[in-house]
Amino acid sequence: MSDPQVAAVKPLTSYTCKLLDAQAEALKNWLVAHGYRFREVPYARFAAEKEKTNLVFYESGKLVVQGKGTQEFVEFVLEPEILKEARLGYEEVLNPDLLVPRLGVDESGKGDFFGPLCVAGVYVNEAVVKSWKDAGVRDSKTISSDKRMKELAELIRKTPGCVSTVVPIGNEAYNRLYAKMRSVNSMLAWGHARVIENLMLLKYQMNPPPIRAISDQFASKKEVVAKALMSLGKGIELIQKHKAEADLAVAAASILARHEFVTRMGELGQRFGMEFPKGASAAVDAAAKEFIAKQGVEELPNVAKMHFRTALRAQGLPEPPKVPWQRRS
């Protein structure tokens, strides 16, 4: 059987609106610039398609967007770049769970060698969801500007009725926890459980109280997080699903977590007088070697996640052979 919670959030696959001539011209130019294939359609000024999205602009001025990529195209191209306004009003009909009072949980820093692991949680209700309708709150991975991330983080924290918390796990604590747990998923489960518990301690600020908590499913077995839940967290329904950032509460949590991570990375840079690149790459390898040369290898655990292979390479130590990937809990 399919999960009813997942089934409730099917993305939009068809959208219709009117365009002014200037908007139609801007859209056509955008489609050309982004490699869409054009074709002839009766009574249409132009029609184009690419991958999961099909567009037809009719002589009447009506634009029809269809396909699996419809919702993403409307939200991230048509509204911000062509219409210059948010018009989508289908969400509440399509997804009745959109206005349900709930918690969203997400993390940032998991794949970054330098810097902490930050887990955040956000409570939303109907008023909060509606107040964010045109605010641009979305998955932090689609926000490239740190300045915009900061603005959205401040908006989320100041929104009346919204309750939030962030649990930053600094590098020293991270390495200590990893030495004990020996699993990133176990640490994430603990972090998510800790955030849910912290939010539930603030339940008196939530009106109405949350009926569920939603997070991304990062482990193959959902029980990994469920088992880590603490006393208050056990009293709320936990939903884990892939691409949970599509949920507004989780998207907001992802913004708070990423903003906390970026802020703390900046503080580390100021403390040690060098820039720490994000992620794991050749630039990160070079920065790790530079850091050791300046500060000494004994300081590395204070700025980095020591179980990454990057730590071995930076110290000139041999890397163990890579184990073939296997699904694990």
Q: What is the pLDDT of residue 168?
A: 97
Cβ neighbours for 42, distance < 8 A, ≥ 6 positions apart: none
Res 325: pLDDT: 59
Q: Confirm whether 4-94 and 100-265 share one CATH topology.
A: no
Report CA-CA distances (Å) from 150 to 74, 129, 221.
Answer: 25, 19, 34
Is the separation of the CB atoms in 240 and 225 below 8 Å?
yes
CA-angle at 181, arms to 177 and 182, nearest 5°: 105
Report the distance separating Cα 291 and Cα 299, nearest Å.
Answer: 9
Taking phi over 0 as left and psi of -120 to 50 as alpha, with beta for the rest, 26 belongs to: alpha
Give the C-alpha distances (Å, rounded to integers) separating 261 from 193, 214, 254, 258, 303: 19, 21, 10, 5, 12
Concatenating the DSSP letter of every residue in 40-94 gives --TTEEEEEEETTEEEEEETTSEEEEESTTHHHHIIIIIIIIII-S-----HHHH
CATH label, 100-265, candidates 1.25.40.10, 3.40.50.2000, 3.30.420.10, 3.40.50.740: 3.30.420.10
Order across the sheet with 14-18: list the strands: 14-18, 62-66, 53-58, 44-50, 37-39
pLDDT at 305: 97
**pLDDT value of position 6:** 37
Residues of the chain with pLDDT under 50: 1-9, 90, 93-94, 328-329
Per-position DSSP letters for 138-177, written without gaps between them: --GGG---HHHHHHHHHHHHHSTT-EEEEEEE-HHHHHHH
Name the fold adopted by 4-94. TATA-Binding Protein (3.30.310)
Angle between helices 184-200 and 171-181 (to 10 degrees): 120
Three-state SS at 105: strand
Q: Quote the pLDDT of residue 92.
A: 53
CA 99, CA 248: separation in Å to the nearest integer?
A: 10
**H-helix or E-strand spanning residue 23:** helix 21-33
| 17 strand-pairing partners | 63
pTM recorded for the entire structure = 0.71
Query: How far, in whole angstroms, is CA 163 from its chain's centroid?
Result: 18
> Tell me, what amino acid is at 73?
F
Q: Which residue has the tokens 């949980």?
A: 105
Contact call for residues 139 and 245 (beta carbons, < 8 A): yes
Every domain of the chain and the residues it spans: 4-94, 100-265
